[in-house]
Structure 1
Amino acid sequence: MWLNRSLLLRRSTLSVRHASSFLSLGLCSELCDALQAKGITTPTDIQAKTITAALKGANVICTDTTGSGKTLAYLLPVVERLRQAEKALLAKQTNSEIPLKREVSRPKVLVLVPSRELGIQVGAVARDLAHFSKFSSTVITGGSAHKPQKMALNRPLDILVATPGRLATFLKNGHVFVSRVEYVIIDEADTLLDRKMGFRSIMDEVLKPVEASAAAKNRKVQYLLAAATVKPPMDEVFSKSFKDLKWVSGNTVHQTPRSITEEFIRVPGSDGKHAALRESLSLWNKGKSIVFCNSTASCRSTEHMLHEHGYRSTSLHGDIPPVVRKKNFGAFTSSEASILVCTDLAARGLDMEAVDHVINFDFPKSSVDYLHRAGRTGRAGKRGVVTSLITKHDAATARLLADAKGRHQPIADMSKDGTLKLSKFNPFKEKTDDASKPNKLALHPRHKGTRKIKPHKLRTVRK
């Protein structure tokens, strides 16, 4: 199944200055064939920049608008580096008949994501790439049964996609080990590393063992971060947390897509919002709509009102059990329900196909949230509409957003280039980190800090 994630893999209309093809960026023919099979021949701007930086071994944070292809931007170079390292090990062997030893439950790549839904999507992209460039991957997330995930880990593994909470639990219980991790990818990094979002303590439980194991073996870990937006103080958090982190950004970072129409409707007060919402839905009554609220209470009352008026709607917020969330999300993606009422849980990372209309029933608390919400529509060159219901408390912020849109500039409270405390990646000055030269320590089956591997836990793989 190739993502409606297909949005990530579709040819982009963004300008590309760094390369005209994935092959010229340094990717192997197998990965290029995987992309070619889906009609993708030209990298987007953010893909070209991120792949170039990552293949040189830099720690990278890539930022661009939602739907610009950041999943491929971080997966492709990591898969390429894994392939190069394995080829180098095979070439170094004196006896080519002896297979390489691979250990179970010990991934080389961690991909950390904030939600179960995003984890499934990233895992699907990885599986599609693996059809052409052979590697193994699996997904472990909260909201799913433990036993099948434990069984999936009980095999040689290259890439593990995980939510931090489930990964931390499995680390404590000895179902997965980080002693071989060489690459850490953090998707939606501005969410996972922000203490206000509640993930940071769990992230520390995952990242500290990775760093300790790498330090004990004198092995470098490469970090790749992805986010739609970066603004103070998160830029300082990133720069302090990851050594020599380089920033690459797309041409449209911190801007809403030009393919969307944005309208701001003034309402007299909270009492008039439901009537304004119904009027907006009647004006734009074709296709799918997402209605964003700032709280679960607002979600519940809004969905109840829509049901009473005969609308086919469903909801998604943090108080809904994971099984029901999966069912509701499936109802919306399959068009069984044409309206999704949700909190910002659905604003980040999730790839929803053919969303025609986004309505900010409650005006977002920050311009970052506005960007994420607006990015749910107008994807892959399609047109979209973003309607915001504005009370007098929201008027000043809405005016700044409208002005920035008119000037095609980053929205008002975003830092301009040069003011963020992150160094931009310069492809002409950065030294190349030779991925084809494997770390000698990685050839040994046991190292300090790693549990002894039982004989039945060893697997072999033939060339």
Structure 2
Amino acid sequence: MALGRAGPALALPLLLPRRPAGSGTAAAGSPQGPGAVVRVPWALRQRLQRGAQRRRRGQEEAAAPRPGKLLLRSRRPELSQPRWQTVGRWEQPPLVSAGWKHRKAYGDYFQLEPSQEAAPALQALPAEAGQGPTFAELGLQPALLAGLERLSIGRPTAVQRLAIPALRRGRSALCAAETGSGKTLAYLLPLLERLLGRPEAPAEAGGLRRQLRAPPAGPAVLLGTPGALREGLRRRFLALERLRWMVLDEVDSLMDESFTELLEEILAHAPLAAGAPRAAGPDEERTQVVVVGATFPAGLSETLSKFTDVSRFVNLSTQSLHRLPPHVLQKFVRLKGRDKLPELLQLLKERPSSGGAVLIFCNSASTVNWLGYILDDHKIKHLRLQGQMSAAARAGIFASFQKGDVSVLVCTDLASRGLDTSSVQLVVNYDFPDTLQDYLHRAGRVGRVGSKAPGAVVSFVTHRWDVDLVRKIETAARKRTGLPGMDSINKPSPKGG
């Protein structure tokens, strides 16, 4: 039997099912061999061959690495993204983590490659020529400049260039910048300058109660947690009538449900300023408020507006706020829960002794203790840090870690905020963080201002709800945008009337 027009044809065997004997009579003149033959015309054969070649060529091109340096490197090369490739704001890019909720995804991974060497905080603003102004050009006193020089602190970071001039003018401010960018020094330098301009007071000895009941005539600095401050206010051995400067540092932690009520009670006792100080006599001087954080939680402005006019605060934020650190390698690995421990042990044993300190984050104190026992069994020296320890024990453990006595610290999110971790070069999220804010804080433990190397972050992705967060991180990385759901400053809703 022939198909198509007359002409050159290709004979291909066509296997047909056998008919049982006596099932029917074959058509007259049809072949009676073991299989019938179908002849494919030459033109159709060429078309089929060209289609097969195109498919093979497309598969080879997809599997081949794309030219240029990569922004995102995937285990599946066709999903890698080069730096030159841009993704539109409303475009949905193909994600490596799109199928990570399927059981066949175990073992898959991708990593965000560093796109620059230096931390964003050390880069000059676009409007600034060269490296930006020096501390001297910001107007600081010679005594402070000498102290900075002794500490080998050369030039101000981006947030310091923004905050120091505004705070020296007495402005209240909402100051938001990425972790490890020098926020503490940004508000400490104006505060120290203000203290240097006041008369020096003799040192007072004695306990906290005695110092607070009979404070020195000159300036004094009080550091405290919300619980301790509220206790002092309730027992009336602490008064804030003479308070002239208030710093709310790590404000995302202070706005946690467990601290919100305490914070509001403290704010109610302070004579808060409404932005820039008004022209008033010395008896009417008000408190300058500085709110500092790497992430600003929802409801912050609403809370502050109960006690002061937030609209008169100056808003200070850096361009890298709420963005993934572009100078830090970040790897995400999809694993089963039982595979996390072998992966961690291999990571630690293969790490060279000169590779810097390691932070291993867990989501609970019980996991910290359990993992510590396992590391003991494998003769891996480490320290543990979690919230069930006393404050004195925690301080001693972290001091030992900072000195380099032990290079591995297993901890909870207690170590993700407010601690100097410039010696850390590897962060391992043994448990994936619960929120995107927690991920930014953990990732900010490496690649800080003053760190010797940018470092890396390795995250184990185990649960299905972890995948949801990873997809948001991957999407933000591909689009080069900030992480979703985190506004730098939450404006209070306008009041009617």
Q: 2:267 aligns with which of 207, 228, 231?
A: 207
Q: Which one-letter code corresponds to 1:396 in the other structure?
A: D
Alignment of 1:311 onto 2:380: yes
Q: Secondary structure at the match of 2:290?
A: strand
Give, in whole Å, the separation in 1 of the partners of 2:196 and 2:219: 14
Partner of 2:44: none
Q: CA offsets per residue over residues 237-271 of structure 1, 9 Å max, x none?
A: 45555422332112211123222110001112x23
Query: Does 2:163 correspond to 1:50?
Result: yes
For residue 79 of structure 1, the aligned residue among 192, 198, 217 is: 192
Match of 1:160, SS?
Answer: coil
Shift of 1:349: 0.8
Distance in 2, Cα, partners of 1:38 & 1:309: 39
Tell me the CA shift for residue 234 of structure 1.
3.7
In the alignment, structure 1 residue 221 sits paired with structure 2 residue 287: yes
Residues 182 and 221 in structure 1, CA contact (< 8 A), matched pair in contact too:
yes
Q: Is 1:63–1:229's contact at 8 Å kept on the other side of the alignment?
A: yes
Which residue number in structure 1 is paired with residue 4 of structure 2?
none
SS of residue matched to 1:220: coil
| CA deviations over 1:400-427 (Å, ceiling 9, x no partner) | 2133234442123333x7x84279xxxx
Q: Could you tell me how far apart the structure 2 residues matched to 1:302 and 1:258 are? A: 30
Residue type of the alignment partner of 1:385: A
Bigger-Rg structure (1/2): 2
**Does the Cα contact within 8 Å between 2:381 and 2:408 map onto a contact in 1?**
yes
Cα pair distance change 1:195/1:204, threshold 3 Å? same
The residue aligned with 2:415 is 346
Q: Which residue of 2 aligns with 1:281?
A: 348
Aligned to 1:141: none
Q: Does 1:163 align with 2:225?
A: yes
Q: Distance in 1 between matches of 2:139 and 2:203?
A: 23
SS of equivalent to 1:179: coil
Equivalent position amino acid for 2:323 in 1: Q
Deviation at 1:74, TM superposition (A): 0.8
Residue 3 of structure 2: aligned partner: none
Pairing 1:81-230 to 2, within 5 Å after superposition = 81-83=194-196, 86=198, 148-150=207-209, 154-155=215-216, 156-192=218-254, 194-196=255-257, 198-211=258-271, 218-230=284-296
Q: Is the 8 A contact 2:273 2:286 kept in 1?
A: no
CA distance in 2, matches of 1:264, 1:384: 15
Distance 1:212 1:26 in 2: 26
Structure 1 residue aligned with 2:459, among 388, 412, 428?
388
**8 A contact 1:316–1:342 mirrored in 2:** yes
Aligned to 1:372: 441
Matches of 2:206 and 2:227 in 1, distance apart?
16
For 2:206 and 2:405, the matched residues in 1 are separated by: 31
What secondary structure does 1:162 align onto? Answer: coil
Letter in 2 for 1:335: G
Give CA-to-partner distance per residue, 1:148-193, whole Å, 9 cap, x none: 445665544432222222233334445443221111111111211x
Shift of 1:67: 1.6
The answer to whether structure 1 residue 299 and structure 2 residue 357 are counterparts is no
**Hey, what's the Cα distance between the residues in 2 that align with 1:327 and 1:81?**
32
Q: Higher RCO, 1 or 2 (CA under 8 Å, sep at least 6)?
A: 1
For residues 405 and 50 of structure 1, the distance between their equivalents in structure 2, rounded to whole angstroms, comes to 28
**Structure 1: how far apart are the matches of 2:463 and 2:270?**
49
Alpha-carbon distance in structure 1 between the residues aligned to 2:446 and 2:329: 10
8 Å contact from structure 1 (residues 316, 341) kept in 2: yes
Structure 1 unaligned residues grouped into runs of 5+: 1-9, 87-99, 101-133, 139-145, 424-463
Q: Give the CA deviation at 1:375.
A: 0.6
Tell me if the contact between 2:428 and 2:458 (Cα under 8 Å) persists in the aligned partners: yes
CA gap of 1:253–1:12, structure 2 versus 1, over 3 A, is closer
Residue 211 of structure 1 aligns to a residue whose secondary structure is coil
Is contact 1:238-1:245 (8 Å) kept? no
Contact preservation (8 Å) 1:267, 1:276 = no
Residue range with higher mean Cα deviation, 230-239 or 256-265: 230-239
Alignment partners' CA distance in 1, 2:405 and 2:301:
41
Q: CA offset at residue 54 of structure 1?
A: 1.6
TM-score between the two structures when normalised by the length of structure 1: 0.68
Identity among equivalent positions (%) equals 31
1:274 maps to amino acid: L
Pair 1:251 & 2:319 matched: yes
Give the conservation status (yes or no) of the 8 Å contact 1:247–1:422: no
Aligned counterpart, 2:143: 30
1:92 is matched with which residue? none
User: Partners in 2 of 1:137 and 1:160 — Cα distance?
Assistant: 14
- Partners of 1:11 and 1:42 within 8 A in 2: no
- What is the number of residues matched between the two proteins? 355
2:481 alignment partner, one of 380, 391, 409: 409
3-state SS of 2:222 partner: strand
Unaligned runs of 5+ in 2: 1-118, 275-279
Residue aligned with 1:364, SS: coil
Amino acid at match of 1:421: K
Q: 1:32 to 1:391 in 2, by over 3 A?
A: same
Is the 1:11–1:41 contact (alpha carbons within 8 Å) kept by the matching residues of 2?
no
Superimposed CA distance per residue, residues 391-449 of structure 1 (whole angstroms, 9 cap, x where no aligned partner): 2411232132133234442123333x7x84279xxxxxxxxxxxxxxxxxxxxxxxxxx
**Cα distance, 1:234–1:304 mapped onto 2, change above 3 Å:** farther
Cα root mean square deviation, aligned: 3.3
> SS in structure 2 opposite 1:294?
coil
Provide the rounded CA distance (Å) in 2 between the counterparts of 1:137 and 1:225.
Answer: 29
Q: Distance in 1 between matches of 2:314 and 2:272?
A: 22
Change (3 A) 1:304 1:171: same
Change (3 A) 1:77 1:390: same
Cross-structure match for 1:333: 402
Kept in 2, the 8 Å contact 1:291–1:339? The answer is: yes
One-letter identity of the residue aligned with 1:189:
V
Change (3 A) 1:362 1:136: farther
